[in-house]
Amino acid sequence: MKRVVVRYKVKADRLEEHEDLIRKVFAELATMRPTGLAYHALKLEDGVSFVHVATVSTADGQNPLIALPAFKAFVANIADRCEERAVNSPATAIGAYRADDAPA
């Protein structure tokens, strides 16, 4: 199982576009329902910082997220939308609790 955490800050004037691209990724995930993937995208309190957490547990270790057209569109020009570049960090779970999967 692989887990990665990505944190970055978008430009305020690109926020609406950025959030729309994220929503399209989740819409495609809801349709495709790839197995072996848990994915969360969180907007922080400042309104322009984001944290994404992906957990991949596929048999071959490949991340099904990166094959989705909506995700490819999301990452295509992300550097142009970012005020602070994305930092990817592998992560190890110490504990987890899932009350629900619905966004608040």
Class of the domain covering 2-90: alpha beta
Of residues 34 and 97, more confidence is placed in 34
d(CA 8, CA 22): 14
pLDDT digits (tens, 9 = 90+) for 44-102: 999 999 999 999 999 998 899 999 999 999 999 999 999 999 999 999 988 877 656 55
pLDDT at 95: 85
**What's the pTM?**
0.88
Would you call 16 exposed, middle or buried from its count of C-beta atoms within 10 A (0-12, 13-18, 19+)? exposed
Where do the domains of the chain lie? 2-90
